[in-house]
Chain A
Amino acid sequence: MTVAVLVEGLTVEFGRFRAIDDLSLAIDYGEVRAVIGPNGAGKTTLLDVISGVSRARAGRVLFDERLELTGRSESAIARSGVRRKFQKPSVFEALSVRDNVEIGLGGAGDPASHEKVAAILETVGLSEHADRLASELAHGQKQWLEIAMVVVSEPRVLMLDEPVAGLTDEETERTAALIRRLRTPDRAIVVVEHDMDFVEAIADRVTVLHEGRTLFEGSMARARADARVVDVYLGR
């Protein structure tokens, strides 16, 4: 089976600060991988490099074992099928909900794409808000709208940065269900999250980052039992 995202020897520096330090990582198709770790562990930076927002100092990122992503533009990476939801809900506030999703699809407005947009709006539960401005949505709805914008293009790699931050318990549960539904054999899903219960509910495997390096990789249950992980989270 091909590896969806292969990260090899990745190093990212901001000035003298090393956000990611010689990190290697493999994410398979069909899995939901959670990347967790304390603040400053390099989780968001990892997504930034994969999606082309930040540049790596050393190392490379390989998509689908054939396409080198490092050095490509964000738009080229997105078009190749690697898409990402940002930490802060990033929707186009001056456009309607439907416009937002259509832009995510990038389609030309033919009937097929209208159906797709309608379907995804149904999935995230925003059908009745389709004609409202995105700025009028509640926080949780914006999170889902952004997921819809990213998912509607049917990406091979889906990266979600803190999809349940600021959501109520009920909204979190619905989001978890949504992500489980998005999981298909030819899609890799990477989730960065702080909410451990949410991670346990959705993740097949977790990667624990600490100071830019992999501290642990395995199931959530084993992660909870791992002494180093506990140390990092609880501090000493």
Chain B
Amino acid sequence: MIAPKPPLPARALDDRVFAGVAAATLLAFAAVALWPGLSGYRVNIIGQLACFALLAVALDLIWGYAGILSLGHGLFFAIGGYVAGMHLLEHSVATTGVTPDIVQFMGWTALPAWWAPLGSFPVALLAAIAVSFGAAFAFGWVSFRSRVGGVYFAIITQALVYVAMLLMFRNDTGFGGNNGMTGFQMIFGVPFQSPSVATGLALASLGVLGVTLVGCRLLMVGRFGRLLVATRDDEIRLRSLGYDTLRLKLAVWCLSAVIAAIAGLLYVPQVGIINPRVLSPELSLEIAVWCAIGGRGRLAGAVIGAVLVNAIKFSLSATLPELWPFVLSGLVILVALIFPNGLLDIGRWRPALLSRPGALRPQDAAS
């Protein structure tokens, strides 16, 4: 059986879309850096969108390429976010000397002593990477070793992030409980009120996004990426060709976790707060929704999905916030039923509804 040829060969289309997304990232970078007419609010939104896009790219690496759906990526995002929060608190205390609110409502006399090293940004960055890597490695190792995959893996990661949320909601866990961390004063010695902070953070986010996109793309079109796709399509086949799929999956899982943590690290200074709500299972599910809407396994799709969904969310939350859940669920169902490979499918749309339900298409196996 030979599948009908799509109007445009898939890879050529992907290449074009990727180039477009990369160019858009560059354009946004240039606009934020050079265009004075962009308001601070807009710049902040662009920076946040870049963080979400980064998070989506992280999930696309493991879901789109390796076929492993994590419904708990908010955990790694939160690790980066909390490290950023601790860093900013330490830094603010060191530069302004003002005692932050968290000290009061936690009933402390000062910030915990072990946070002190996080006052240095390189240490904080290393800590975010190390902790997210360590958590991902530990969880990934036990899961992949026992060959937990598919739906099982998805719901266990969801339980993981849910439990983490419950833990962080408690005050005695020691990270601000329900209130989380907020009231940051200074970043890199610059007060948060300064307009250059929003610009700098947006530029950093866009820069990291661009570098990550290109880096991951190179990795994914190479041997590593092909082996990941092979794992997704038929893991047992790959193992019996002599490959250690445990290592492959662990590698991409940890890479994905670290990227998600960096997204969290960049995100928190832009919104000025981190609390346990980023650990809610809903947020982690939304990341998967971004990827699904944009189209999995092509990186560019993740960026498009994340930006599109969050742009709608931002504009609706200003006008009709109660409409948002309906729009979101409608979008997901639409994509699930009509555009199985995401909105990028619109370009070569075959009415999936008319095709026989249950007919297995190539990329379906791991979705």
Contact of A94 among B2, B232, B240, B242 (CB under 8 A): B232
> Which residue of chain B has the shortest Cβ distance to A94 in the bound complex?
B229
- Proximity string of chain A (171-184) to chain B, C-beta cutoff 8 Å, 1 when within and 0 when not: 00000000000000
The answer to whether B239 and A103 touch across the interface, beta carbons within 8 angstroms, is no
Minimum C-beta distance from B200 to chain A (A): 40
* A139 cross-chain contacts in B, Cβ below 8 A: 1
> Which residues between 39 and 77 of chain A lie within 8 Å of chain B, taking CB atoms?
51-53, 73-75, 77
The answer to whether B362 and A103 touch across the interface, beta carbons within 8 angstroms, is no
* B230 cross-chain contacts in A, Cβ below 8 A: 92, 95, 100, 103
A104 sits at the interface (CB 8 A): yes
> Which residue of chain B has the shortest Cβ distance to A79 in the bound complex?
B242
- Proximity string of chain B (40-70) to chain A, C-beta cutoff 8 Å, 1 when within and 0 when not: 0000000000000000000000000000000
A150 sits at the interface (CB 8 A): yes
> Which residue of chain A has the shortest Cβ distance to B245 in the bound complex?
A75
With a 10 A CB-CB cut-off, give which of A93, A106, A150 has the most chain B CB atoms.
A93
The answer to whether B362 and A93 touch across the interface, beta carbons within 8 angstroms, is yes
Report Cα–Cα, A213/B240, bound state, in Å.
Answer: 25
Q: How many residues of B contact A (CB 8 A)?
A: 25
B363 sits at the interface (CB 8 A): yes
* B223 cross-chain contacts in A, Cβ below 8 A: 108-109
Q: Which 4 A-B pairs rank lowest in CB-CB distance, beginning with the nearest?
A: A78-B242, A135-B362, A74-B239, A90-B237
- Would you call the interface of chain A mostly helix, strand, loop, or mixed? mixed
The answer to whether B240 and A53 touch across the interface, beta carbons within 8 angstroms, is yes
A11 sits at the interface (CB 8 A): no
Contact (A84, B234) CB under 8 Å given A94-B363, A95-B229: no
A153 sits at the interface (CB 8 A): yes
Report Cα–Cα, A111/B77, bound state, in Å.
Answer: 43
The answer to whether B365 and A149 touch across the interface, beta carbons within 8 angstroms, is no
* B297 cross-chain contacts in A, Cβ below 8 A: 94
B312 sits at the interface (CB 8 A): no
Contact of B234 among A52, A92, A99 (CB under 8 A): A92
